[in-house]
Structures are given as C-alpha cells and as structure tokens.
Chain A
Amino acid sequence: MMTATPIANQHATNKAAKAFLILAMSYLLFGLVLGVIGGFQYILPPFLKESFSFTKTRPLHVYLVITWIFTAAQAGIYYYLPKISNRQIYWPGGVWLHFAMQLGISVCIIACFFLGYFGGREYLEFPPVFGAFILLSWVPFVINFFFTLKPNYKTAPVYIWMWSTGILFFFITVSESYLWVFEHFRTNIVRDITIQWKALGSMVGSWNMLVYGTGMYVMEQTSGDNKTARSPLAFFFYFLGLTNLMFNWGHHTYIVPAAPWVKTVAYVISMTELLILAHLILQWRKTMSAARKNYHIIPYRLLSFADVWIILNLILAIAISVPAWNYYTHGTHITVAHAMGATIGINTFLLMASVFYICKKEKEELLEKQKPLIGKSIIITNISLLIFWISLLGMGLVKISSRLNNEIFAAMMQKSSPWFHVFAYSGIVLMAGLFFLSLTATRLLTVKNNSFKLS
C-alpha cells in the first residue's frame, strides 16, 4: 500500500491530518452556534419553537460537539503516528477514505436532524443505521493505527495504551448502545435504561482515553520528558482510569431499580478518583523547565487550564457520586455542569493544546505573531466557561430546592430564569472565545505564505 517516497508520504499524511483538524474545528464551530441557539430557547421559549425546536437544536449540538472531540483526537493521532513509529502511514488512501466517509455520514446525519428524522436515543439521536456507518468509517483509522504503529505493549508508552483502549471501547460501547434494537432490551425499560447508562458512561470513557492519550503525548513533546509516559505511576493511573471506564457508569443508575450491587461497585470505583485528584494537585507541572514553558506557551496554557478543570470536575464528580446527594443532583443541571466542564474545560482544552502544538510544528513564525491574541482569548474562554459552569450549578440548586418544596415544573423554570440568562449570555462569550481559537488555528493550518491576517 506504500508507493510514494517517504517525504511525499509524510507530506500527504500531514495534509490529511490537517484536513481532519479543520473538519473537527468545523464541527466545533457549528456545534457552538447550535448550543447558543439552544441556550436562547431557554430564555425565549417561543424562539423557533415550531420551525426549529429544541428537539432539533439539542441533538445537532450534541452530535457536533461529540464529533469534534473524536475527530480532533483522530486528527492528532494521524499526525503523530509516523513521528512516533518512524514509519510512513500504512495506508495513506485509507486516511482520505475515512475523511470522505465521515464527512458523508455527518452531512446525512445533520440533514436527518433538520428534516426531523430521529432515532430518539440520548446522545445518539440520529437514525440507528448511522451507528453502523460510523463504526464502518472507523475501520481505515483502526487499520492505519495498528499497522503503522505495530505497538509492542510490553514497552509502549502509556498514551499508546490509552489510544488503543479508546479505539477498542469505542467499538464496544457504540455496539452496546444499539442493543436496544433487540427485543430482550427494548421491551424492558429498566434494562434498556441501565444498558444505555452503561454504554454511554463507558463511551465517554473511551473518548477520554483518546483525548487524555493525546494530552499525554503533547505533554511529553513539550516538556521533553519521555520517562513520565513510561513510568509505573502513569500506568497506575491508566489502569485506574480503565477501571473507571468499565465500572464507574453505575453511579448514573442510583435511581434505576436495577440490581443494588451494580450501584455499590460504581460507588467504590468512583471514590478511587480521589487518588487521581490528590496526585494532580501535588505533582502537576513539576517536570517542565521555564524555557520549555515559554517556547510552548500556548499548549502549556491550555494544558494548565485543562488541569484546573480536571480538579473542579473531579470534585463535582465525586460529590455527585455519593448516593445520598446523587438522589437530588441527578436529573438537574448539576449533571450538565459536570458534562460541560469535562467536554469543554478538559477535552476541548486538551485537544486545542494538540491543535496549537501542530500549528507550532507547521507554522511556527505565524503562530508567534498571534500569540498575544491567542493568550487573551484563552483567558476569556476560561472566564466565560467558569461563569457558564456556575450558572449550571445555580440552575441545579434551584431545581433541587423546588423539588424539596414540591413546586411544579413551571414555577421551578420561573425561579431559574436569572440563571438561564447568565447561562445564555456567558455561552455567547464562550462561543466567541472558542471561535477565535478555532479560526486562528484553521487559518494557520491553511495559509500558504506569511500574509496571515486575522481580520
């Protein structure tokens, strides 16, 4: 399958990886717009109610931002594979086949949502047939990953374990989330909901493995420390993360009348996350020199902010895993705060660190010119995300209070109104910050000469 010269092949692979990055950032940009529209449907209930209701804006937003995460992780992996393995990509045509399939599937899914054709399942709200197509589109990626890397797991660094695990569990969890098509699962609501929580909880773990692996690789490259990713401690945390991926999902099912031991297992596993939290607070950033920090300042800042969000989210995750508290927090915007903190604060910032690391490799001089503006935009994005996150916690607390006072839903919504406004307006600033970062990165990756201008 390899016919081109090594340099031509490397160039072609980088081009394909950049195409994936641009596709990923397009998902993010459209996903953010849909998120803001959805946010305004909270404060202006009649807004697009009949023509483009929340039943369309929410699945579009969810699909696009989840696909941003997977695609940006894949783009990074395509870019890094030849550098890690010192080999040409095994099947260059497969990268473009993957790209074409993914683009085609996305266009079809988006069209289905606009036209009102739904599968009606949480997170995977598109018609079920697209689940099979998505898995099929990953096949060239899997072939290229394993045949280019030919990983030796006895000596492989932890990020290769993480990527491999992410890929394996993506296939398992997407397949599992479609078990409902079988009567054994479909006709029993308790079983159906339990399996949905199981599949979706672990699916989040699978993309976390892809994203954290990418983050680890970027950390290794920016710090110049290639020992950490091979250390016993790194593998301890990998196996802890893997255990959480496999068994932690049960904390979503405290209110489901399933077997009690599932909940006990989940609770015990959830509490092990405390170890990760303690480690992060004590150990982070010790290995990076001041010179390297300055040289890789944009990825460094993004990784540092991701670390802050990991800490905030772990505190929240541990708190809502306590069964007595989970009963009240479940089904409130506190769960959304956890999801948003994780997908934006952790996943998106880690992936953006990877994006700007690639920009640095490809267009170092141009990136230097944009550094001050990018730095400010990272700070604005984080401040708006913090306000956005607090507004979600506020909404959750109002809902808990209303539930305890036996208030009707309309009264609860009325009381939440100030928080909805904070949520919607901070969402606009958040979108603007991420827009700036994505558009800057896109233009850096596409510009051919030094005539880069942002306006």
Chain B
Amino acid sequence: MFRIILFLILFLTYVVYSAVVYSKGTENSILYNQEESVMIIHGKQLFQQYNCIACHQLYGLGGYLGPELTTAYSDKTRGELYMKAFLKAGGQRMPNFHFKDDEVDAIISYLKYVDTTAVTYKNP
C-alpha cells in the first residue's frame, strides 16, 4: 500500500509541477505589433515545414550538421544578410530550398524574435 501511496503523491506532484511549468516563468516580455506577429508565426511555420530542426538547433534542441541559430541574428560573424544568403542559395551542406523573398523575410523575422528572447544564452 505504501508503494501505491508514494506513487500517487509523486504523480500528484508531477501534475502540479507541470501546471506551474506550463504557466509560470516563461511569460512573453517582448511585445510585437500585429504585422510582426504574423511574420514571426509564418516564419516558425516555415521553419517546421522545411524541418530546419534536423540540422539546426534552437536553444540546444535539434541536429548538429548546421550551426546553432538561437543567437545567429545578433552574431557579429553572421547576422541578417549572411543568413539571407544561405536561405536563398543554400550552402556546402545546406540544400537550396528555393525560398521566395517573403518566405526568407518571415524566417528571418522568426530568428530575430528567437534571438531577442535569448537573454540567458547570451549572458549565462
């Protein structure tokens, strides 16, 4: 009986813990206007549709064939133009996905948004 009670206590703790993780500590501190939000959402959708996570990481999540992109936007050695060049033509390892200009802009907007959230990443 002790084991069953212990399991139930742990499970209940897990449920409460999950509810807290879902709602606290991750609130959005950056506000965007409607147009920017639409671009960011579209960029994220493209990022998933083309399975960019297979080669690139965001916050350490994803594959390692390509570079980590969490802070690529503000990185002095990369930045917006550098990323646009890869998105338009591909690279040594990256295929050319033949993105249209508006799609490139949307993906850049999404990566810019990710970059602005990466406070602890830039200053651990």
A residues near B (Cβ < 8 Å) are 41-42, 45-46, 49-50, 53-56, 58-59, 118-122, 125, 153-154, 161, 176, 179, 184-191, 193-198, 235, 239, 242-243, 246-247, 252-253, 255-259, 261-262, 327, 330-333, 335-336, 408-410
Contact = CB atoms under 8 A, between A and B. Distances in A.
B95 A53 contact: yes
A87 B59 CA distance: 49
Given A54-B65, A330-B60, A331-B68, A120 B118 contact: no
A257 B92 CA distance: 33
Most A CB within 10 A of own CB, among B13, B24, B25, B66: B25
A255 B60 contact: yes
B17 A120 contact: no
B81 interface: no
A331 B57 CA distance: 7
Secondary structure class of chain A's binding surface, majority of residues: helix
Interface in B70-97: 77, 90, 92-96
A258 B17 CA distance: 14
Nearest to A199: B18
Given A41-B65, A191-B26, A331-B60, A257 B119 contact: yes
Given A49-B95, A125-B51, 14 more contacts: A50-B96, A54-B93, A56-B54, A120-B48, A120-B52, A161-B7, A189-B113, A193-B59, A194-B21, A194-B26, A255-B121, A255-B124, A257-B118, A331-B64
A35 B52 CA distance: 18
10 contacts: A120-B52, A125-B51, A161-B3, A186-B44, A189-B58, A193-B61, A252-B61, A256-B59, A257-B120, A331-B57
Given A190-B117, A256-B120, A331-B60, A55 B22 contact: no
Contacts of B13: 246
A122 B93 contact: no
Interface centre among B26, B53, B65, B120 (most CB of A within 10 A): B26
A118 B17 contact: no
Nearest to B14: A246
A59 B67 contact: no
Contact of A242 (B7, B65, B66, B90): B7
Contacts, number: 144
B40 to A, nearest CB: 8
A189 B53 contact: no
Interface residues on B, range: 35 or more
A120 B95 CA distance: 16
A153 B10 CA distance: 16
A197 B114 CA distance: 16
B10 A121 contact: no
A50 B47 CA distance: 18
B24 A259 contact: yes
A193 B58 contact: yes
B28 interface: yes
Contacts of A118: 48-51
Interface string B108-124: 00000110011111001
